[in-house]
Amino acid sequence: MSLRLNGFVCLLVVVSIPVSLHAQAVGKFSQQDKFRQLEEDLPTPNGFRTGSGAPGPAYWQQEVNYEIDVRLDDENQRLFGSEVITYKNNSPDTLRYLWLQLDANIHRPDSESKLAATSPGLERVPFKQFQGMLARRVFDGGITITKCTDNSTNQPLKYTVVKTMMRVDLPQPLPPGGSFEFGVDWYYRINDAKVVRGRSGYEYFPEDGNYIYEMAQWFPRLCAYTDVTGWQHKQFLGRGEFTLEVGNYVVRITVPSDHVVASTGTLMNADQVLSPDQRQRLEMAKSAEKPLFIVTPEEALANESSRPDGDRTWIFKADQVRDFAFASSRKFIWDALQHDVGGAPVMAMSFYPKEGEPLWSRYSTHAIVHTLNVYSRYTFDYPYPVAISVNGPVGGMEYPMICFNGPRPEKDGTYSARTKYGLISVIIHEVGHNYFPMIVNTDERQWTWMDEGLNTFLQFLAEQEWEEGYPSRRGEPADIVPFMASLNQVPIMTNSESILQFGANAYAKPATALNILRETILGRELFDFAFKEYARRWKFKRPMPADFFRTMEDASGTDLDWFWRGWFYSTDHVDLAVLGVRRLDIQQGPEVEKQVQRAERQDQPETQSAERNKPLPKYVEKFPELKDFYNDYDPLDVTPKESRSYDKFVEKLSEEERKLLDADHYFYLVDLENVGGLVMPVILELTFEDGSTDLLRYPAEIWNKNNEAISKLIITEKPVASLNLDPRLETADVDLANNHYPPRIQKSRFELFKESRERPNPMRDQQIELKRSQQKQGGSR
Amino acid sequence: MNHFLVVLLMAACGVVLPNGNPTLSASHPYHVSYAEVEWNPETGHFEVALCVWPADLEKAISRMSGRAIDLDAEPGVEAMFEQYVARRFRLIGDSGKVRPIRWVGAQVGLKQAWLYFEVAGDKKPGRWTIENRVFFELNEDQLNQIQIRMGPVRKSLSSTVESKPLSLETVRWKPAR
């Protein structure tokens, strides 16, 4: 059966925008291959990491256990620590030295972080900010190592500090399977986190003379040694957070006797540090339905004016964690609610000063519980005994079992909706980081998106399950459009320290990409299965990007190389356009066909010359013998040969084909252009002339032979009146103006806003009049 | 203190980050604004719809006013928006003169705030310089995306702390038949 082009119904003129190309076109075909397989770029699978994206049979990771004594000097804001580290070499390599991280050295005046920073656009600098700049210049929060010894011999170890890293030379090479135990003592000045900001520090409250300490990245921590990077000792510049080894901790935290401590791990000596009332309340929290106060607001207020009668040591034990953080203050209100996750009890707890009220007691612990429920459903059951949210000077930062979150209400206790949702969102986000990267132990210093992107994606899911219409900032495709259309971009697959527009690139874009992958490409069932499989495979292990990409394909049974290539390896954006629509007719036999052609010929306008030449005498009329067959022949007459040929054609058709020929079908060729470069599924909404609609979905592979312009044949039973590409805004298409056929004039947002202001609104006018007359009456009384 | 002196001192001490260390707020706000700018040849005005993150807007006008402003509770907050926008979003004609803005209105929601204003331009097509320095004083990685619309023609521009003012040429367009 043949289709014949009946003519252009209309052709849209689309303004072309240059398409950025990131890979050279190959061979004699001018286009780059958007579906080129990633195996050329991904690392070769091996015994440590398989081609399926799972840990291989020879997968290994180091184990590092810590026993730490730390003392918080509340008078001088200093931290003194002493640790014994047991390093177990599970690698196949013999190690001659170990690398440790000294993150506090980022606060040295000559730190690389400060020296490498470039200037932002400052014209006017408020005095307070200028003070902060000077404070950072003079503040020295660098770490001082006072001892580093081999525990077996008690002999000093040779060590070399390289900015935020420290190399410890081993007395003997450490063979595969061997262990080495050594001790490090240190101290440093704690930064005022409101002035010299960071992921850690103290906040001073001048009204009552007290401090809140949020202590993180506070002890010399072993760098990760991996099959991929060897030692991961890229300098700490600030953005690329860290990756560490999973291990077990016993930490004894000595603080003023009237402080309350919140920490990673399980409190081992509650009977020594908590009052009988507090212990009883904690017991009650195990079966409570709502959060209970362990330290009430009244008790916390009373504590503010107390003074310590010495020190008290809180002992915590944490297993299978990659880091350890704590917070301490006499200002803390403390509430708790035990919650079962997969049959295991988890104590959800919040610590905050009165300045956080009433917001914190209302939302914080509930937000923790909600996060554990949702995240565990999409990954694995939360494996730790506690989950803690602390309010202090740090805006939002995560550590195993504990996180620091900044939002507070106004001083009068009122708060805006933005503050409320800001608090709930940041708690979901930071508690959610327990899953990525605390348990799925990705390398944040190398790949920010692997924890922030995945976590922001799950944060979106959790927010949408908190309440209907939750104002999530990231996740919906439409919200990423301005960034996707912007020019100053680097791919998601960019090292943490080189990322431009950090939040948009490493948080929002991968989160949105995963949401699109879930909703539009794979569907929820396939995506959720694959995502959970990734989390299961890499729980307490260290995946790399290829492991994620491969697992998602392996478990979903879908080649997603084009998706990773487009969304993660390029800066292309989605802009698909309907270039035009052509209607086609089925050949209905020569009589019908030629009748149509004759009608078309008759529709042709007569030219001026032809009209004027018509009355002129013609030479052949004078000599009729000059006329022959061709003078009467009309090529649009049906010849017997053509009739026979059509009859034969019909005879050869199957019964089904004959039915189709007789049926009343409409054929359209839709011409589509990929303006933005990023290939995506084509989602077309057809509106028929009778007003009904139909939604057609074509996979991204529709672009696999030509990723710049394609035509798609659409067969309908009713005439189509209009087309709309991506009608539900699923793909982050940056320009919706070219998504319609026939083209629609899209009013600018400015015009729409002005119109909404100017549009007559008699109801509102009436209400205003009513109010005026009521005020008049009130005034005359 | 004279702000020129402050800038000089900053240069001398080599400390230049507006909010301290870039490590900071680990919740990492989404530092992208989006402006739709359309030149209306009938009036000669540029019609601007600027979309920003409300928390940043609150922070910016608080900083400009020297006191904490609550977007939802502050009376006359739109006048502050206007004042802020006039400082940070500028269209400059060929003569080098900054054109005044005319405030139209604002829609402030939880997720985003839209600010609407016009900038007096010319009815004749011409060359312009456009500066969008919104929130540069807050966020070192602020990206201000500008979409220019002239009828069916669209052009994307991006402005960052490092970028120079952007040039823009207005053209009349004829609707396709």
Q: From the first residue on, what is the mean pLDDT of each consecutive set of 10 residues in chain A (781 residues)?
A: 36 31 58 93 97 98 98 97 98 98 90 66 55 73 96 97 96 98 97 87 96 97 97 87 94 98 98 97 97 97 93 98 98 98 96 98 98 98 98 95 95 90 96 98 94 97 97 93 87 90 91 98 98 98 98 98 98 95 78 83 89 91 89 88 85 80 83 96 97 97 95 92 96 93 82 76 66 63 44
Q: What is the 3-state secondary structure (H, E, C) of A111-143?
A: CHHHHHCCCCCCCCCCHHHHHHHHHHHHCCCCC
Describe chain B by its helix, strand, coil percentages, rounded to 5.
20, 35, 45
> A209: which 2 tokens?
């003379």
Report the residue from A117, A130, A481 with minimal CB separation from B22. Answer: A117
Measured at the CA of A201, the angle between CA B9 and CA B20, to 5 degrees, comes to 25
Residue B64 with chain A: CB contacts under 8 Å? none
The pLDDT score that the predictor gives to residue A33 is 92
Q: DSSP letters of A437-484?
A: IIIS---TTT-THHHHHHHHHHHHHHHHTTSTT---SSSSHHHHHHHH
Q: Measuring CA to CA, how many Å separate A114 from each of A105, A110, B20, B136?
A: 11, 7, 9, 19
The whole-angstrom separation of Cα A298 and Cα A295 is: 8
Q: Measured between beta carbons, which residues in chain B are less than 8 angstroms from residue A126?
A: 63, 66
pLDDT of residue B118: 95
From chain B residues 85-124, the ones with a CB under 8 A of any chain A CB are 104-105, 107, 109-111, 114, 116
- Please check the confidence at residue B24 and state whether its pLDDT lies above 60: no
Sequence letter at residue A279: R
Q: Among B13, B33, B51, whose Cβ lies nearest the Cβ of A137? A: B13
pLDDT value for A761? 60
Among residues of chain B, what percentage have pLDDT more than 70? Answer: 81
Q: What pLDDT, on the 0 to 100 scale, is given for residue A642?
A: 86
Phi-psi region of A726 (alpha: psi -120 to 50; beta: other; left: phi over 0): left
**Shortest Cα–Cα distance, B58 to chain A (Å):** 10
Q: B8 touching A, CB under 8 A? A: no
Per-residue pLDDT band for B1 (boundaries 50, 70, 90) equals: very low
Listed residue (A100, A61, A89) closest to A543, CA to CA: A61
* Amino acid type, B165: P
Considering only CB atoms, B49 lies closest to which of A474, A487, A748, namely A748
A51 vs B3, residue with greater confidence: A51
Q: In chain A, what are the domain boundaries?
A: 1-13+576-603+613-746, 749-781
ipTM over 0.90: no
Distance in angstroms (rounded) separating the CA atoms of residues B76 and B97: 29
Nearest residue on chain B to A496, alpha-carbon basis: B23
Mutation for testing the A interface, residue in B6, B27, B37, B103 having most A CBs under 10 Å: B27
Q: According to the model, what pLDDT value does residue A502 have? A: 85
Residue A385, number of CB atoms within 10 A of its CB: 17
**Calpha distance B141→B144 (Å, rounded):** 10
Confirm or reject contact between A412 and chain B (CB < 8 A): no
Chain B partners of A429 at a C-beta cutoff of 8 Å? Answer: 27
Distance CA B89, CA B146 (A): 11
Using a CB-CB cut-off of 8 Å, the residues of chain B touching A507 are 28, 30
Q: Does B174 touch chain A (CB under 8 A)?
A: no
Q: What is the pLDDT of residue A27?
A: 67
Kindly determine whether residue B6 and residue A410, on different chains, have CB atoms separated by under 8 Å.
no
> Is the per-residue pLDDT at B42 higher than 60?
yes
**A411 at B interface, C-beta within 8 A:** no
Pair A141, B21: CB distance under 8 Å: no
Q: What is the pLDDT of residues B115-169, one digit of tens each?
A: 999 999 888 888 899 999 999 988 888 889 998 887 777 788 888 888 888 888 8
Quote the pLDDT of residue B12.
29
Q: What is the structure's pLDDT at B164? A: 81
